[in-house]
Amino acid sequence: MDWRQLWEIISAPDNVPIVALIPLLAFYIFLAWRQANANDQLIAQLEGDAALAKTHHRKAWPFQPGWQKEVHVWPFLLRMEFLAAIIVTIILMVWSITLNAPLEEPANPNLTMNPAKAPWYFLGLQEMLVYFDPWIAGVVMPTLIIFGLMVIPYIDTNPLGCGYYTWKQRKFAIATFLFGFIVLWVSMIVIGTFIRGPGWQWFWPGQTWDHNRLIYEVNRDLPDLFGITSNWAKGVFGALVVGGYYAVGGLVVHALYWRHNPKNYQRKSLLQYSLMMFFLLTMVALPIKILFRHLLHVKYVWITPWFNV
């Protein structure tokens, strides 16, 4: 094991945000979970006491008698926020004093770096390029991400859980978020930073990033696996598979959603529901494709002259 290599990556000034991201993410999820848990218990208690539920707006558990039912933003929230602002200022100042901007040599068009990596916040997108063609990974997917994020308020019909931590009241939303953020975004950044070495090859942590490494890997298109040769047939087959995915996946999700989340289902219009379905299935498609690639060496599923999926 080449721990020195790992240390070199971890200690690079470029990678400070990513390295920090991992423990911070864990910490804040833990914090959120603790708050949500407390709130959920309070909600349970309040639901048992109708009178209290009417007047109670402050979510704190265990709630002590005599505590105020409401606290004002000023000064109680703002003083905390200001303190946080000071601490963040300190962190940023120390960071900027101790670590210089990681500038490199002048760009040389005759000699590109290897691996050539995007800024850390784009590494997820770069990693997607491995699995989809540039049109899908570079244009369609980012657009869908933005639209998907924009659309959330309009398809979120759940009136509960606003302004406080809760799990029980927003299971679906939080699970979807965690899936999208941690699995699809953060983990891909982590892979791009720590796993992808020279030639964008997959190096496990502790493996030396050897520029001379040679691996043998053949990725085939899904139609090829089924012996389809004609281009037309490939397009039709791919469309069928993708369409089938959306149809079958939609049915499965529908069954689950309908069963576990009937209230929200009922609150949604058809447009809201189908939008949600589309974005959710597209999101899930990404890790499925990643698994297809890594486990089955499938390059593309749907091949057309204009795009490949």
Partner 1 sequence: MAERPVPQDDPVVSKSLAPHYVIAMVVLMATLFWALWDENFGQRPWKTFQQEWKTRYSVFLERARSKSSDSQKNVEGSSEYQALKTAYDQINQAASPHAREINEKLRDLSAQILAVQNIFTDRRAYVSALTYSIETETSASSRQRQQRNLDKYKQVVTTVEYPDGSRHDFNYDQLEENYNDLKNQRTALGTELVEVLKPLNTAKEKLDAYVSEHMVNLTPAQIRGLLNKTEAWSPQIQQINVAEANIVDRCESCHMGIREPVQLTAAAMSLRGKKPDEYARAFTSHPEPELLQTHDPEKFGCSPCHQGNGRATTSVEKAHGNYEHWLWPLFPKGNSEAGCQTCHAADMKLVSGDIEWQIINQGKDLYRQRGCMGCHRYEGYDKEPEDLLSIAQQIKQLEQQKKESLKQSAELMKQADAAASNEEANRLNDHAVALKVANSKVDLRIVQLDHASKSLLQDMKKVGPNLKDARLKLNRNWIPVWLKKPSAFRPTTKMPDFRLSDDQIKTISAFLWQSALTDALPKHQPGNAAHGKDLFETRGCLGCHSIGEGEQLEGAHFAANLTRVGEKDNYDYLVRWVHNARQRTRPYCPYEKKDIGPEDYKKKNLPYAFDLDHSRCPNDGHELQVQNMTVMPSLRLSVQDAEDVATYLVSLKRREPSEYPDASYMDDAELRNEGKKWVRHFGCAGCHEISGLEEEGRIGTELTVEGSKPIERLDFALLTEVAQRGGHEPITDPDDQARLPEGPARKPWYDHKGFFEHKLAEPDIWDQGKIKPETEKLRMPNLHMDKDQVQALTTFLMGSQESGLPLSYKYQPLDYRRDIQEGWWIVQKYNCVGCHQFTPGQKTALMSVRRYRDAQEQLPPQLLTEGARVDPEWLLHFLKNPALNDSDTNRNGVRSYLQVRMPTFSFSDNELGKLVRFFQALSRQPLPYIPEAPPPLTAKETEMARSLFSSTAAPCLKCHATGDPAHDRTATAPNFLLAKQRLKSDWMERWIIDPQAISPGTSMPSGLFKRENDRWVFSGPTPASFQGYDKDQSKLLVDYILQLTAEEQRRVAGAMDTHTRQVAARQPPRRWPLSNVNVLKNRVSVLMKFQTTEEVQNNMTNKMTKKLEIAILGLPLLAGVFSLAACGKKEPAEEQPAASTPAATTPATPIDPATAATVSGTVKFDGAAPKPAKIDMSQDPNCKGANAAENLVISDGHLANVFVYVKEGLGNRTFETPKDAVTLTQIGCKYSPHVLGVVAGQTVKIVNGDPTTHNIHPTPKDNREWNESQAPQAAALEKSFAREEILLPVKCNQHPWMKMYINVVKNPFYAVSATDGKFEIKGLPPGDYTLAFVHEKLGEQDQKVTLAAKDSKTVDVSFKQ
Bridge partners of 308, per DSSP, are: 303
Burial of 131 from C-beta contacts in 10 A (0-12 / 13-18 / 19+): buried
Angle at CA of residue 119, ends 117 and 124, nearest 5°: 80
Angle between helices 231-260 and 270-296 (to 10 degrees): 120
Q: Of residues 73, 105, 116, 227, which one binds partner 1 by CB under 8 A?
A: 105
Q: Of residues 1, 26, 83, 225, which one binds partner 1 by CB under 8 A?
A: 83
Residues 265-304 that bind partner 1 (CB under 8 A): none
Closer residue to partner 1 (CB): 51 or 73: 73
Per-residue interface string for the shown chain with partner 1, residues 32-71, x marking contact by CB under 8 A: ----------------------------x---x-xxx--x
Closer residue to partner 1 (CB): 93 or 178: 93
Closer residue to partner 1 (CB): 4 or 54: 4
Length of the chain: 309
Could you tell me which of 172, 174, 176 has the C-alpha nearest to residue 258? Answer: 172
Q: Does 305 bind partner 1 (CB under 8 A)?
A: no
Expressed in angstroms, the distance from the first to the final Cα of the chain is 36
Could you tell me which of 241, 231, 256, 259 has the C-alpha nearest to residue 298? Answer: 241
**Shortest Å, Cβ 198 to partner 1:** 10
Closer residue to partner 1 (CB): 210 or 224: 210
Q: Does 72 bind partner 1 (CB under 8 A)?
A: yes
**Rounded to an integer, what distance in angstroms lies between the CA atom of residue 168 and that of residue 186?**
25
Report which residue type is found at 132: F
Please identify, among the stretches 91-99, 141-149, 230-238, 301-309, the one whose residues bind partner 1 according to the rule CB under 8 A: 91-99
Q: Of residues 93, 240, 248, 271, which one binds partner 1 by CB under 8 A?
A: 93
How far from 98 is each of 12, 13, 15, 16, 93, CA to CA, in Å? 13, 10, 14, 12, 9
How far from 72 is each of 68, 246, 307, CA to CA, in Å? 10, 48, 55
Q: Are 190 and 22 in contact (CB under 8 A)?
A: yes
Token pair 């406080």 is at which residue? 164
Extract long-range pairs of 243-246: CB within 8 Å, 24+ residues apart.
245/281, 245/285, 245/288, 246/278, 246/281
Residues 223-262 that bind partner 1 (CB under 8 A): none
Q: Of residues 111, 116, 214, 215, which one binds partner 1 by CB under 8 A?
A: 111
Please identify, among the stretches 14-22, 104-112, 152-160, 180-188, the one whose residues bind partner 1 according to the rule CB under 8 A: 104-112
Q: Of residues 22, 90, 248, 252, which one binds partner 1 by CB under 8 A?
A: 90
Q: How many of the other CB atoms lie within 10 Å of CB of 290?
A: 19
**Shortest Å, Cβ 52 to partner 1:** 17
**Shortest Å, Cβ 102 to partner 1:** 9
Q: Does 94 bind partner 1 (CB under 8 A)?
A: yes
Instruction: Name the site residues for partner 1 (rule: CB under 8 A).
Output: 2, 4, 60, 64, 66-68, 71-72, 76, 79-80, 83, 86-87, 89-90, 93-94, 97, 103-105, 108, 111, 114, 208, 210-212
